[in-house]
Structure 1
Amino acid sequence: MRYLKIGIISDTHITKHCENINKIIDRYFKDVDMIIHVGDFDSMDVVNNIKKKKKFVGVFGNNDSSAVKQYLKEKDIISIEGYKIGMFHGHGEKKNAMDRAYDQFKDSKVDIIIFGHSHQPIIKTKNKILMLNPGSPSRKLKERWYSYIILELEKKKIQARIVFFNNK
C-alpha cells in the first residue's frame, strides 16, 4: 500500500547562508514526498531553496521577513490522504505554543495540528487531535539535540516519529 512520507520542520531561523537548508534536505529528507515547514524561516531564500528541492507547504512564524509573510499564510489547513492537517507556528500571547496552535483549529475538525515556535519536539494527542512539533533542525535553543519529524500517512494508519541528531 502506498503511503505519503512527509518531512516536517520548523524554526530553521536561517538568515545567512540560506543554502544550509539544502544540506538538511539532502541529508535527512532525500526520500520524502514533501516538506512541511511551520514558520520562522527568517528569509524568503530558505522558502525558495526548499521549493526547488521538494514539494512544499508551510506557514509563516513571528520572526519571518515581510516577504515570507506576504507569500505564506499565518495558518492553513491542508488535506493529505484524507486527513485534515492544520498548520500554525504557535506564536502569540498567553498559554503555550501547543495550546495556542490547538486553539487556532479546535472548531475546524482537523485530525493533525503541526506547530513550532517552542523549538521543543512533541508528539502527543490533545482531545483526539495529533499534535506535532518538530523542534528545530538548525537552532535547538535549550534542547540537547536538533530534531525533525517524519510523518507517514496511509488511509488507515499514521506513523509519526521524531528524529534527533547532532549537527556535527
Structure 2
Amino acid sequence: MKIVVVSDTHIPKRAQRLPSRLLHELRSADQIIHAGDWQSLEVYEQLKQYAPVNGVFGNTDNEDIIRVFPDKKIVNVNGFKIGIIHGHGKKMTTVKRAFTAFNQPIDCIVFGHSHIPYLKYKNKTLMFNPGSATDKRKAPFYSFGILTMSDELHAQHIFFKSK
C-alpha cells in the first residue's frame, strides 16, 4: 500500500498547479492524504483522479473546503491507524498540537501547517509532516511524503528543487 502525503498546497496563491515531481508519484499511489491548506477544491478534484483522497481543512481554507473536509480525521489502512490534522492553533508547537489532538493510540499522525518536513517518533506515534510541494518558504527544497504499509509502516520525504 502506497499513500502519497501532501499538505499546504496553497493553490492558486503559491502555485498555479501541482508540481510535476508530485504528479509523477501520484500515478502509482493507492491512496492520497492531504493535511490541509488546499485553498481550492480544484486541488481535490485533481488529486482524486489518481487515487482515493482523505484530508482535512487548514487555517487558510475557505467554506467550500470546510464543507467537504473535517478538521481532523482517523483512517484505518492495512491495520494502521493514521490521524490527519492540519496542526494550526494557539499555544504549543505545531507538533505538540497535532500530537495532543487525538485521544486514542494512533500509529501515525500526518500534519502540516508549518511547511517544515518532519519525521520523528513521539512515544510510539510516528509524527509526519510532508512539508509543502508548492511553498517551501525558507527551506532549501519543496517536499511531499510517501507512507508505505505492509507488515510495517514506513515514511519518507521526497525533496525536489523546482515546482
Residue 52 of structure 1, CA deviation: 2.3
**Residue of structure 1 aligned with 2:47, choices 21, 26, 50:** 50
1:123 aligns with 119
1:166 aligns with 161
Q: Deviations over 1:94-123 (max 9, x none)?
A: 111111000101x21111100000000011
Query: In structure 1, how many angstroms separate the alpha carbons of the residues matched to 2:22 and 2:116?
Result: 20
2:79 aligns with 82
Opposite residue 46 of structure 2, the aligned amino acid is N
Query: In structure 2, how many angstroms separate the alpha carbons of the residues matched to 1:22 and 1:165?
Result: 10
2:132 aligns with 136
2:152 aligns with 157
Matched, 1:109 2:98: no
Opposite residue 158 of structure 1, the aligned amino acid is L
Q: TM-score, normalised by structure 2?
A: 0.93
Do the aligned residues in 2 keep the contact of 1:148 with 1:162 (CA within 8 Å)? yes
**Residue of structure 2 aligned with 1:13, choices 4, 7, 10:** 10
Residue 159 of structure 1, CA deviation: 1.4
3-state secondary structure, aligned to 1:138: coil
Do the aligned residues in 2 keep the contact of 1:90 with 1:98 (CA within 8 Å)? yes
1:63 aligns with 60
Distance of aligned partners of 1:65 and 1:159 in 2 relative to their CA distance in 1, 3 Å threshold: same
Distance of aligned partners of 1:121 and 1:17 in 2 relative to their CA distance in 1, 3 Å threshold: closer
Q: TM-score, normalised by structure 1?
A: 0.91
Do the aligned residues in 2 keep the contact of 1:44 with 1:65 (CA within 8 Å)? no
3-state secondary structure, aligned to 1:27: helix
Query: 5+ unaligned residues in a row in structure 2: which ranges?
Result: none
Residue 25 of structure 1, CA deviation: 4.3
Query: In structure 2, how many angstroms separate the alpha carbons of the residues matched to 1:68 and 1:152?
Result: 27
Residue 167 of structure 1, CA deviation: 1.2
Opposite residue 76 of structure 2, the aligned amino acid is S
Opposite residue 72 of structure 1, the aligned amino acid is F
